[in-house]
Amino acid sequence: MPKRLAIKVLAVMVVLGAMFFGYRYWQSKQLSLPPGIVSGNGRIEAKLVDAAAKEALRVKKIYVDEGDLVEPGQVVVQLDTVTLDAQMAEAEARVAAAREGVAIAKAGIVSRKSQIRLARIETERTRKLVEERAGSQRDYDVSRTRLETTIAGLAEEEARLQSARQEVKVAQANAATIRTRIEDATLKSPARGRVLYRLAEVGEVLAPGGKVLTIVNLEDVYMEIFLPAEQAARTKIGAEARITIDNAPGRAAAGYVSFVSPEAQFTPKQVETLSEREKLMFRVKIKVPEELVSSHIEFVKTGIRGVGYVKLAESAAWPPWLQNLFGPTLKDSSVTRPVNKLSRETP
């Protein structure tokens, strides 16, 4: 009896083992890639941008915290501008004084022109008197000298006006510089993204270039994978691509190849197997379209691991499990990508 039971148990185990390995074989066939499509491990990445001070100022207010979503142009930090405001008031006073100098110079020119008109009348009258022998030559000479002196005074007043106008321009330029410094004290988000790090607190004095926030730019989301030389040589800029992530099995995101590195790397960043380290690998960047990122902006997180897939042949068909795409709906599983179809030279 024990012997017959043992045989039955062994038979059941053999059947279960066959079913298990059969299922694994079937599953591997389902997930196998057709010719013309290659893949590599990677993770979701995005460029980082900083909100930083141009000059040494104290942090007055921080309007966001780590994890907050920010929009382009949104005010995220306000720096203290008390000193700059005082400089601005002084600069505006200098502009006003310079404009007053222009007004005075213009009035001087008007006065000189009136004096010239009068001096010419007197000179002409004196000349006629001399011709009629009713006046002296000395009076005529004095009158001419006064006219010439007045004309020279007009040139001086005109030069003074030009100098005053230049002073206005210099004062306005200084005021504009200070105004720009005040505007630069209001730090705005340079891109749509999520606050990754808050590097300063209210009350801290920043050095020139001191960072307050680091923001993940969600307008430039991509995955980098590494392909062997033979596959990288066949990869075209603008080629269709797909991205899958570990926390969303059964779904894929459409993308396109935006960059193929011209330099080989022996050790890929995300691949740790010995066989892959022994190969020359090339970095390939798969960019996610901005409209797709925008429609899932609340769920996009960098650092998530996944797999990137690239079409080496345009005639290759995506397997069914890479056609279940995240929205928005894209006709025929295509994406908006660059028209450039030139492939990189063989490494």
Which residues, at least 6 apart from 109, have a Cβ–Cβ distance to it below 8 Å?
154, 157, 158, 161
Q: What is the tens place of the pLDDT at every residue in 17-56?
A: 666 555 454 444 445 788 889 989 999 899 899 999 999 9
DSSP string, 77-105: EEE--HHHHHHHHHHHHHHHHHHHHHHHH
Contact assessment for residue 160 and residue 105, using Cβ atoms and an 8 Å cutoff:
yes
> Cβ of 74: how many Cβ atoms within 10 Å?
15
Q: Fold match between 35-47+219-333 and 50-81+186-213?
A: no
Q: What is the pTM of this model?
A: 0.64
Report the CATH fold assignment for 50-81+186-213.
Answer: OB fold (Dihydrolipoamide Acetyltransferase, E2P) (2.40.50)
Which phi and psi angles does 113 have, rounded to 5°?
Answer: -65, -40
Contact assessment for residue 187 and residue 52, using Cβ atoms and an 8 Å cutoff:
yes
93 has a pLDDT exceeding 80: yes
Which residues, at least 6 apart from 106, have a Cβ–Cβ distance to it below 8 Å?
161
Which phi and psi angles does 158 have, rounded to 5°?
Answer: -65, -40
178 has a pLDDT exceeding 60: yes
Domain boundaries, the chain: 35-47+219-333, 50-81+186-213, 82-184
pLDDT at 134: 66
Sign, CA torsion 110/114/119/124 = positive
Question: Which stretch of 9-18, 33-42, 133-142, 326-335 has the lowest confidence by average pLDDT?
Answer: 326-335
CA distance 145 to 259: 82
pLDDT at 82: 93
Give me the residue label for tokens 């720009």.
180
pLDDT band at 9 (very low <50, low <70, confident <90, very high): low
Q: What is the tens place of the pLDDT at every residue in 294-315?
A: 777 777 778 889 999 999 988 8
Architecture field, domain 35-47+219-333? Beta Barrel (2.40)
